[in-house]
A and B are shown apart, each in its own frame.
Chain A
Amino acid sequence: AQSVTQPDIHITVSEGASLELRCNYSYGATPYLFWYVQSPGQGLQLLLKYFSGDTLVQGIKGFEAEFKRSQSSFNLRKPSVHWSDAAEYFCAVGFMNTGFQKLVFGTGTRLLVSP
């Protein structure tokens, strides 16, 4: 069955330091993978997505993610974190069953940014 695992519930990073948020997926076919961010009081905002082509995808706000099929991973990275990046980050796989995509999410990783 399809599933997404985000092993880190909380991560604290110093402002200006690099960030990597882990995501592992289980999916039988070619995965369509997404990273969403949720800031307090806001909806889930799409950062980036992957479904084919270059395994390193660029997103908004300076984020990127790398798809590694051999590791079933889609980790999110940012070279230099800003205080405004503090939020909850969700990895998701797009799953087709009835001809309509539904998203299967991980539990999320809460990012805290220290001064």
Chain B
Amino acid sequence: EPEVTQTPSHQVTQMGQEVILRCVPISNHLYFYWYRQILGQKVEFLVSFYNNEISEKSEIFDDQFSVERPDGSNFTLKIRSTKLEDSAMYFCASSEDAGQGSEQYFGPGTRLTVT
């Protein structure tokens, strides 16, 4: 069964450093998402991406964040200058369509620890 994969599974970085989290969505999916979960809190929407453009972003997704689909298979989330409060589990998801009720398929997550 096709699945969304994410690398690395765990990333430790120092405050102020740049990190890139990588995702390989399901191959025939067109819509891509990033969510995050700070320990003990809700899974929160960060951004959705379609046709090489951001379709929606939350207020969390400020200028320090960016997303890219650099080739036909990868979807990346970059944090330019990490802060302590960026420590969280980051989930990538993809879907075939984006209408209400559509199923989003999630990867296993990358745990980001900022020290």
Contacts and interface: CB of A to CB of B under 8 A. Distances in A.
Contact of B98 (A44, A92, A101, A106): A101
Contacts of B48: 100, 102
A4 to B, nearest CB: 8
Contacts of A4: 42
A90 B104 CA distance: 13
Contacts, number: 73
A94 B43 contact: no
Q: Which one of B9, B102, B104 has the highest number of Cβ atoms from chain A below 10 Å of its Cβ?
A: B104
Interface residues of A, number: 28
Contacts of A43: 3-4, 6, 91, 105-109
Nearest to A31: B100
B67 to A, nearest CB: 14
A13 interface: no
Interface residues of B, number: 32
- The prevalent SS among residues of A at the interface is strand
A94 B93 CA distance: 14
Nearest to B4: A43
B56 A36 contact: no
Interface in B57-115: 91, 93, 95, 98-109
B44 interface: yes
A62 to B, nearest CB: 19
A101 B98 CA distance: 5
B17 interface: no
A49 B3 contact: no
A45 B104 CA distance: 9
Interface of A: 4, 32, 36, 41-46, 49, 51, 90, 92, 94-108
Give the 3 A-B CB pairs with smallest separation, nearest first: A44-B106, A105-B43, A43-B106
